[in-house]
Amino acid sequence: MSAPSRLENFPISWFAVVMGLAGLDLAWARAETVLTLPVALSPVLVVLTPAVFVVLATLYAAKAIRHPQAVAKELKHPVKLNFFATISISLILIATTLVHAAPSVSLVLWAAGAALHLVFTLYVLSVWIHHTHFEIAHINPAWFIPIVGNILVPIAGVHHASPEISWFFFSIGLVFWLLLFTIILYRVIFHQPLPERMIPTLFILIAPPAVGFLSWLQLTDSLDAFARILYYIALFLTLLLLTQVRRFARLEFFLSWWAYSFPMAAITVATVAMAQRTGLAFFSGLAMVLLALVSLLILLLVARTAQGVARRGICVDEG
Protein backbone atom coordinates (compact mmCIF):
# COMPACT_ATOMS: atom_id res chain seq x y z
CA MET A 1 0.00 0.00 0.00
CA SER A 2 1.39 3.39 -0.92
CA ALA A 3 2.52 5.79 1.80
CA PRO A 4 -0.03 8.51 0.90
CA SER A 5 -2.86 5.97 1.18
CA ARG A 6 -1.70 4.87 4.63
CA LEU A 7 -1.56 8.49 5.76
CA GLU A 8 -5.05 9.09 4.43
CA ASN A 9 -6.30 6.18 6.53
CA PHE A 10 -4.39 7.20 9.67
CA PRO A 11 -7.20 6.95 12.26
CA ILE A 12 -7.96 9.54 14.91
CA SER A 13 -8.24 6.65 17.39
CA TRP A 14 -4.42 6.47 17.51
CA PHE A 15 -4.55 9.08 20.30
CA ALA A 16 -6.03 6.42 22.61
CA VAL A 17 -2.43 5.14 22.80
CA VAL A 18 -1.40 8.39 24.49
CA MET A 19 -4.26 8.06 26.96
CA GLY A 20 -3.12 4.56 27.86
CA LEU A 21 0.52 5.57 28.33
CA ALA A 22 -0.41 8.65 30.37
CA GLY A 23 -2.70 6.55 32.55
CA LEU A 24 0.11 4.06 33.13
CA ASP A 25 2.44 6.93 34.03
CA LEU A 26 -0.06 8.26 36.60
CA ALA A 27 -0.55 4.76 38.04
CA TRP A 28 3.18 4.17 38.47
CA ALA A 29 3.85 7.66 39.82
CA ARG A 30 1.16 7.32 42.47
CA ALA A 31 2.15 3.74 43.34
CA GLU A 32 5.85 4.60 43.62
CA THR A 33 4.99 7.16 46.31
CA VAL A 34 2.21 5.39 48.20
CA LEU A 35 3.34 1.77 47.91
CA THR A 36 7.10 2.55 48.02
CA LEU A 37 7.95 0.41 45.01
CA PRO A 38 11.58 -0.71 44.55
CA VAL A 39 11.56 0.37 40.89
CA ALA A 40 10.44 3.60 39.23
CA LEU A 41 8.94 3.51 35.76
CA SER A 42 7.22 6.91 35.82
CA PRO A 43 10.39 8.93 34.97
CA VAL A 44 10.55 7.03 31.66
CA LEU A 45 6.84 7.28 30.93
CA VAL A 46 6.68 11.00 31.71
CA VAL A 47 9.08 11.59 28.81
CA LEU A 48 7.80 8.86 26.49
CA THR A 49 4.13 9.88 26.61
CA PRO A 50 4.55 13.47 25.34
CA ALA A 51 6.96 12.20 22.68
CA VAL A 52 4.36 9.75 21.39
CA PHE A 53 1.76 12.52 21.41
CA VAL A 54 4.01 14.80 19.33
CA VAL A 55 4.62 12.04 16.77
CA LEU A 56 0.91 11.21 16.45
CA ALA A 57 -0.10 14.88 16.34
CA THR A 58 2.44 15.51 13.57
CA LEU A 59 1.16 12.60 11.52
CA TYR A 60 -2.48 13.60 11.97
CA ALA A 61 -1.68 17.21 11.10
CA ALA A 62 -0.04 15.94 7.91
CA LYS A 63 -3.18 13.97 7.17
CA ALA A 64 -5.33 17.05 7.74
CA ILE A 65 -3.19 19.05 5.31
CA ARG A 66 -2.88 16.42 2.59
CA HIS A 67 -6.24 14.66 2.99
CA PRO A 68 -8.73 17.11 4.53
CA GLN A 69 -11.63 15.15 3.05
CA ALA A 70 -10.59 12.11 5.12
CA VAL A 71 -10.64 14.19 8.31
CA ALA A 72 -14.03 15.62 7.38
CA LYS A 73 -15.30 12.07 6.85
CA GLU A 74 -14.17 11.08 10.36
CA LEU A 75 -15.88 14.15 11.80
CA LYS A 76 -19.16 12.97 10.30
CA HIS A 77 -18.77 9.34 11.36
CA PRO A 78 -21.06 8.37 14.30
CA VAL A 79 -18.23 6.51 16.09
CA LYS A 80 -14.97 8.09 14.90
CA LEU A 81 -16.31 11.55 15.71
CA ASN A 82 -16.00 10.80 19.42
CA PHE A 83 -12.30 9.97 19.19
CA PHE A 84 -11.35 13.55 18.28
CA ALA A 85 -11.68 14.31 21.99
CA THR A 86 -8.83 11.89 22.70
CA ILE A 87 -6.56 14.74 21.52
CA SER A 88 -7.75 17.13 24.23
CA ILE A 89 -7.87 14.37 26.84
CA SER A 90 -4.28 13.45 25.96
CA LEU A 91 -3.24 17.05 26.62
CA ILE A 92 -5.09 17.06 29.97
CA LEU A 93 -3.52 13.75 31.00
CA ILE A 94 -0.02 14.84 30.03
CA ALA A 95 -0.61 18.04 32.02
CA THR A 96 -1.63 15.88 34.99
CA THR A 97 1.58 13.84 34.80
CA LEU A 98 3.59 17.10 34.88
CA VAL A 99 1.75 18.91 37.68
CA HIS A 100 4.61 18.58 40.15
CA ALA A 101 7.59 18.03 37.81
CA ALA A 102 6.93 20.99 35.48
CA PRO A 103 4.03 23.10 36.80
CA SER A 104 4.36 25.88 34.20
CA VAL A 105 4.28 23.42 31.30
CA SER A 106 1.45 21.57 33.00
CA LEU A 107 -0.59 24.78 33.26
CA VAL A 108 -0.23 25.55 29.54
CA LEU A 109 -1.12 22.02 28.49
CA TRP A 110 -4.03 21.81 30.93
CA ALA A 111 -5.49 25.15 29.80
CA ALA A 112 -5.16 24.17 26.13
CA GLY A 113 -6.61 20.71 26.75
CA ALA A 114 -9.54 21.93 28.84
CA ALA A 115 -10.45 24.68 26.36
CA LEU A 116 -10.17 22.32 23.39
CA HIS A 117 -12.22 19.68 25.18
CA LEU A 118 -14.99 22.19 25.87
CA VAL A 119 -15.02 22.98 22.14
CA PHE A 120 -15.27 19.28 21.29
CA THR A 121 -18.04 18.83 23.86
CA LEU A 122 -20.12 21.65 22.42
CA TYR A 123 -19.48 20.49 18.85
CA VAL A 124 -20.35 16.84 19.49
CA LEU A 125 -23.49 17.68 21.45
CA SER A 126 -24.60 19.98 18.62
CA VAL A 127 -24.03 17.18 16.12
CA TRP A 128 -26.02 14.76 18.29
CA ILE A 129 -28.90 17.19 18.67
CA HIS A 130 -29.18 18.08 14.98
CA HIS A 131 -28.16 14.78 13.40
CA THR A 132 -30.04 13.10 10.56
CA HIS A 133 -28.32 9.71 10.42
CA PHE A 134 -27.55 8.34 13.92
CA GLU A 135 -29.29 5.17 15.12
CA ILE A 136 -29.30 3.32 18.43
CA ALA A 137 -26.90 0.75 16.93
CA HIS A 138 -24.26 3.47 16.56
CA ILE A 139 -23.90 4.18 20.27
CA ASN A 140 -21.17 2.45 22.25
CA PRO A 141 -19.03 3.38 25.28
CA ALA A 142 -16.70 5.46 23.07
CA TRP A 143 -19.49 8.06 23.11
CA PHE A 144 -18.36 8.79 26.69
CA ILE A 145 -15.08 10.28 25.47
CA PRO A 146 -16.08 13.79 24.31
CA ILE A 147 -18.75 14.51 26.94
CA VAL A 148 -17.96 12.45 30.03
CA GLY A 149 -14.25 13.15 29.48
CA ASN A 150 -14.86 16.52 31.13
CA ILE A 151 -14.71 14.70 34.46
CA LEU A 152 -10.91 14.46 34.06
CA VAL A 153 -10.30 18.20 34.18
CA PRO A 154 -10.29 18.71 37.99
CA ILE A 155 -7.45 16.25 38.68
CA ALA A 156 -4.92 18.81 37.45
CA GLY A 157 -7.34 21.73 37.36
CA VAL A 158 -7.41 22.28 41.12
CA HIS A 159 -3.67 23.03 40.95
CA HIS A 160 -3.95 25.57 38.14
CA ALA A 161 -7.16 27.59 38.40
CA SER A 162 -10.19 28.47 40.47
CA PRO A 163 -11.98 25.37 41.79
CA GLU A 164 -15.15 26.74 40.19
CA ILE A 165 -13.71 25.90 36.75
CA SER A 166 -13.05 22.35 37.86
CA TRP A 167 -16.55 22.06 39.31
CA PHE A 168 -17.94 23.26 35.97
CA PHE A 169 -16.22 20.48 34.02
CA PHE A 170 -16.88 17.87 36.71
CA SER A 171 -20.61 18.62 36.66
CA ILE A 172 -20.83 18.17 32.89
CA GLY A 173 -18.99 14.87 33.00
CA LEU A 174 -20.91 13.46 35.94
CA VAL A 175 -24.42 14.23 34.70
CA PHE A 176 -23.79 13.08 31.14
CA TRP A 177 -22.11 9.91 32.43
CA LEU A 178 -25.37 8.91 34.12
CA LEU A 179 -27.42 9.74 31.01
CA LEU A 180 -25.15 8.00 28.50
CA PHE A 181 -24.56 5.00 30.77
CA THR A 182 -28.32 4.40 30.80
CA ILE A 183 -28.61 4.65 27.01
CA ILE A 184 -25.60 2.39 26.41
CA LEU A 185 -26.88 -0.24 28.83
CA TYR A 186 -30.24 -0.16 27.04
CA ARG A 187 -28.52 -0.54 23.66
CA VAL A 188 -26.36 -3.47 24.84
CA ILE A 189 -29.21 -5.37 26.49
CA PHE A 190 -32.10 -4.84 24.07
CA HIS A 191 -30.39 -4.52 20.67
CA GLN A 192 -27.84 -6.40 18.60
CA PRO A 193 -24.41 -7.01 20.18
CA LEU A 194 -21.65 -4.51 19.59
CA PRO A 195 -19.58 -5.07 16.43
CA GLU A 196 -16.44 -7.08 17.19
CA ARG A 197 -14.24 -4.06 16.52
CA MET A 198 -16.06 -2.07 19.23
CA ILE A 199 -16.33 -4.74 21.95
CA PRO A 200 -13.10 -3.56 23.66
CA THR A 201 -14.77 -0.19 24.25
CA LEU A 202 -16.85 -1.86 26.98
CA PHE A 203 -13.85 -1.27 29.23
CA ILE A 204 -14.48 2.46 28.87
CA LEU A 205 -17.41 1.91 31.25
CA ILE A 206 -14.84 1.67 34.07
CA ALA A 207 -13.27 5.07 33.44
CA PRO A 208 -16.01 7.59 34.40
CA PRO A 209 -16.59 6.39 37.98
CA ALA A 210 -12.88 5.70 38.56
CA VAL A 211 -11.83 9.13 37.26
CA GLY A 212 -14.83 10.74 38.93
CA PHE A 213 -13.64 9.29 42.24
CA LEU A 214 -10.19 10.84 41.74
CA SER A 215 -11.64 14.20 40.73
CA TRP A 216 -14.01 14.17 43.71
CA LEU A 217 -11.06 13.60 46.04
CA GLN A 218 -9.26 16.54 44.47
CA LEU A 219 -12.31 18.80 44.73
CA THR A 220 -13.40 17.88 48.27
CA ASP A 221 -10.35 16.23 49.84
CA SER A 222 -12.81 13.83 51.45
CA LEU A 223 -13.30 10.07 51.23
CA ASP A 224 -17.00 10.48 51.90
CA ALA A 225 -20.01 8.35 50.96
CA PHE A 226 -20.23 9.66 47.39
CA ALA A 227 -16.53 9.02 46.81
CA ARG A 228 -16.98 5.44 47.96
CA ILE A 229 -19.99 4.95 45.67
CA LEU A 230 -17.92 6.12 42.69
CA TYR A 231 -14.98 3.88 43.59
CA TYR A 232 -17.00 0.75 44.27
CA ILE A 233 -19.08 0.98 41.08
CA ALA A 234 -15.80 1.34 39.16
CA LEU A 235 -14.43 -1.69 40.99
CA PHE A 236 -17.59 -3.69 40.28
CA LEU A 237 -17.46 -2.86 36.56
CA THR A 238 -13.80 -3.92 36.53
CA LEU A 239 -14.70 -7.27 38.09
CA LEU A 240 -17.60 -7.71 35.68
CA LEU A 241 -15.38 -7.20 32.63
CA LEU A 242 -12.43 -9.21 33.94
CA THR A 243 -14.69 -12.23 34.46
CA GLN A 244 -15.24 -12.16 30.70
CA VAL A 245 -11.57 -11.96 29.77
CA ARG A 246 -11.74 -15.10 27.60
CA ARG A 247 -14.36 -13.44 25.41
CA PHE A 248 -12.09 -10.44 24.91
CA ALA A 249 -9.02 -12.61 24.31
CA ARG A 250 -10.71 -14.31 21.34
CA LEU A 251 -11.21 -11.01 19.50
CA GLU A 252 -9.16 -10.12 16.45
CA PHE A 253 -6.68 -7.33 17.17
CA PHE A 254 -7.84 -3.84 16.28
CA LEU A 255 -6.52 -0.46 17.37
CA SER A 256 -9.65 -0.33 19.55
CA TRP A 257 -7.87 -2.76 21.91
CA TRP A 258 -6.25 0.36 23.41
CA ALA A 259 -9.65 0.99 24.99
CA TYR A 260 -8.54 -1.56 27.59
CA SER A 261 -5.61 0.56 28.72
CA PHE A 262 -6.73 3.88 30.19
CA PRO A 263 -9.73 2.47 32.11
CA MET A 264 -7.52 -0.18 33.71
CA ALA A 265 -4.97 2.50 34.58
CA ALA A 266 -7.74 4.67 36.05
CA ILE A 267 -9.02 1.95 38.40
CA THR A 268 -5.42 1.26 39.40
CA VAL A 269 -4.82 4.92 40.35
CA ALA A 270 -8.16 4.98 42.18
CA THR A 271 -7.21 1.86 44.15
CA VAL A 272 -3.85 3.34 45.12
CA ALA A 273 -5.75 6.40 46.34
CA MET A 274 -8.03 4.14 48.39
CA ALA A 275 -4.98 2.45 49.90
CA GLN A 276 -3.54 5.84 50.82
CA ARG A 277 -6.80 7.17 52.30
CA THR A 278 -7.88 4.06 54.21
CA GLY A 279 -4.52 2.56 55.16
CA LEU A 280 -6.00 -0.89 54.57
CA ALA A 281 -3.67 -3.66 53.39
CA PHE A 282 -6.41 -5.02 51.13
CA PHE A 283 -6.32 -1.97 48.88
CA SER A 284 -2.51 -1.93 48.84
CA GLY A 285 -2.47 -5.53 47.69
CA LEU A 286 -5.20 -4.96 45.13
CA ALA A 287 -3.36 -1.91 43.81
CA MET A 288 -0.20 -3.98 43.31
CA VAL A 289 -2.15 -6.62 41.40
CA LEU A 290 -3.85 -4.02 39.20
CA LEU A 291 -0.56 -2.20 38.55
CA ALA A 292 1.07 -5.43 37.40
CA LEU A 293 -1.96 -6.26 35.28
CA VAL A 294 -2.17 -2.88 33.52
CA SER A 295 1.61 -2.85 32.95
CA LEU A 296 1.51 -6.27 31.28
CA LEU A 297 -1.57 -5.24 29.35
CA ILE A 298 0.11 -2.18 27.86
CA LEU A 299 3.23 -4.19 27.01
CA LEU A 300 0.94 -6.57 25.12
CA LEU A 301 -0.83 -3.69 23.39
CA VAL A 302 2.48 -2.15 22.32
CA ALA A 303 3.65 -5.49 20.92
CA ARG A 304 0.39 -6.19 19.08
CA THR A 305 0.26 -2.64 17.72
CA ALA A 306 3.85 -2.87 16.44
CA GLN A 307 2.98 -6.19 14.86
CA GLY A 308 -0.12 -4.70 13.26
CA VAL A 309 1.87 -1.79 11.84
CA ALA A 310 4.56 -4.13 10.51
CA ARG A 311 1.92 -6.27 8.79
CA ARG A 312 0.13 -3.16 7.50
CA GLY A 313 -3.06 -4.14 9.29
CA ILE A 314 -3.46 -0.62 10.72
CA CYS A 315 -4.04 2.60 8.74
CA VAL A 316 -6.17 0.81 6.18
CA ASP A 317 -9.57 1.74 4.82
CA GLU A 318 -12.15 0.63 7.42
CA GLY A 319 -15.15 1.59 5.34
Predicted local confidence at residue 316, as pLDDT? 82
Predicted local confidence at residue 229, as pLDDT? 98
55 vs 6 pLDDT, higher one: 55
* pLDDT band at 313; cut points 50, 70, 90: confident
8 vs 2 pLDDT, higher one: 8
Predicted local confidence at residue 95, as pLDDT? 98
Mean pLDDT of all residues in 26-36: 95
pLDDT tens for 146-202 read 999 999 999 999 999 999 999 999 999 999 999 999 999 999 999 988 999 999 999
Sign of the torsion angle spanned by Cα atoms 251, 191, 73, 147: negative
Pick the CATH number of 3-310 from 3.50.50.60, 3.40.50.11540, 1.50.10.150, 1.10.240.10: 1.50.10.150
pLDDT of residue 19 exceeding 90: yes
pLDDT tens for 229-251 read 999 999 999 999 999 999 998 99
